[in-house]
Amino acid sequence: MPSLSFVKNRVLFTSGATGNPQPGTLAPLRSEFVLAILTVLFFGDVVGRPGREALAYAVPLLQEKHKADFIVVNGENASAGSGLTPATYSKLMSSGANVITTGDHIFRNREYPLIIGEMPVLRPANYPKSADGKGWGLYTTAGGVRIAVMNLMGRVFMEPLRCPYELADEILQTASQQAKVILLDMHAEATSEKVAMGWHLDGRVSAVVGTHTHIQTADERVLPGGTAYISDLGMTGPYDSVLGRDKYAVIEELRTAMPARFESRRERRSSLWRGREDRRPDGTRAVHRTFSNRS
Ligand SMILES: [Fe+2]
């Protein structure tokens, strides 16, 4: 029997935007064969109740269709469009999320789960160490595969936090010793910062997916080193809206330059879109293939 050793982790990447597999990166070398396949579903920012309902509807269908092993959901807008409360956390988890990533809105709602460090919830790792919660974690699928998930935030047009590139390197020193599958939610406004992170981590992590803008990008690809990449997953929420907010309220604010009332703490009174016709889950699917080498 030839001895087997892991030589590379490669990823097939398809997107909700085009649904087209990226060709040219999957064919195993003659001396390699597939040892294991792991399918991960990512869902972009869940916005308010419409987003939670879209998630609850979509997860069982997509999980069955894609035989998903692991589900990552960005939940930073899940509670009334801003933040995550214990109640909304429970709803996302009962919809099938394995881990919830977040971003700049995680602490906006003072009801955020105070024990987020003990829950499968991540906040961007570049917050100060004294901030509640943690920026990366190790999780295990039902099939026993260990997965490291990281959450980082950009700094362009956002809060001046620690350098995400240095932090990614720092986290990987530990994470890469403990998991072969490593995922990153890069929560950022500027696509340039996210693209740069994709290149920075190419070949060192399984997937880099961007969140925050609520608009899905059509740039999904597998980078030369094998890392799956997309600049933004988009939004799980109401599309008959402006980024999940009531379109008329947003137009009014932009037209008059006067503040609109977006921030009602009571969701049913807020300006979140409340119709029922056009809620959608945005996200993507990554298939992680572990190859072996017989030589
Ligand atoms: Fe955000």
> Regarding predicted confidence, which is higher, 23 or 51?
51
Number of folded domains that form the chain: 1
How far away, in angstroms, is 33 Cα from ligand 1 center? 40
Mean pLDDT of 252-269: 65
Return the pLDDT at 189: 97
Mean pLDDT of 179-198: 96
Mean pLDDT of 108-112: 77
CATH at residue 105? 3.60.21.10
Predicted confidence (pLDDT) per residue in 116-128, tens digit: 778 999 999 999 9
Residue 69 has pLDDT above 60, yes or no: yes
Residue 25 within a domain: yes
Residue 24 within a domain: yes
> Regarding predicted confidence, which is higher, 52 or 240?
52
Confidence of residue 44 (pLDDT cuts 50, 70, 90): very high
Residue 38 within a domain: yes
The Cα 194–Cα 232 span in angstroms is: 9
- Residues 6 or more apart whose CB falls under 8 angstroms from that of 3 comprise none
Confidence of residue 71 (pLDDT cuts 50, 70, 90): very high
Residue 245 within a domain: no
For residue 185, what are the domain limits? 5-240+275-293
How far away, in angstroms, is 245 Cα from ligand 1 center? 14
- The structure tokens 């402006």 sit at 242
Residue 24 has pLDDT above 60, yes or no: no
How far away, in angstroms, is 85 Cα from ligand 1 center? 16
**Ranges 100-104, 155-159, 219-223, 276-280: which has the least confidence:** 276-280
How far away, in angstroms, is 124 Cα from ligand 1 center? 10
- Residues 6 or more apart whose CB falls under 8 angstroms from that of 126 comprise 135, 152, 153, 155, 161, 162, 163, 164, 167
Can 66 be counted among the known catalytic residues? Answer: no
Residue 92 has pLDDT above 50, yes or no: yes
Mean pLDDT of 240-247: 86
Mean pLDDT of 50-64: 89
Confidence of residue 109 (pLDDT cuts 50, 70, 90): confident
> Regarding predicted confidence, which is higher, 270 or 231?
231
The one-letter amino acid code at 291 reads F
Return the pLDDT at 81: 85
Confidence of residue 82 (pLDDT cuts 50, 70, 90): confident
Tell me the C-alpha to C-alpha distance, in Å, between residue 140 and each of 9, 69, 120, 291: 17, 10, 11, 20
SS3 sequence of the chain: CCCCEEEEEEEEEEECCCCCCCCCCCCCCCCEEEEEEEEEEEECEECHHHHHHHHHHHHHHHHHHHCCCEEEEECCCCCCCCCCCHHHHHHHHHCCCCEEECCCCCCCCCCCCCCCCCCCECCCCCCCCCCCCCCEEEEECCCCCEEEEEEEECCCCCCCCCCHHHHHHHHHHHHHHHCCEEEEEEECCCHHHHHHHHHHHECCECEEEEECCCCCCCCCEECCCCCEEECCCCEEEECCCECCECHHHHHHHHHHCCCCCCCCCCHHHCCECCCCCCEECCEEEEEEEEEEECC
**Ranges 31-35, 133-137, 225-229: which has the least confidence:** 31-35
How far away, in angstroms, is 77 Cα from ligand 1 center? 7
φ/ψ (deg, to 5) at 106: -60, -35
- The percent of residues above 70 in pLDDT, for the chain, comes to 76
Mean pLDDT of 18-30: 39
Confidence of residue 163 (pLDDT cuts 50, 70, 90): very high
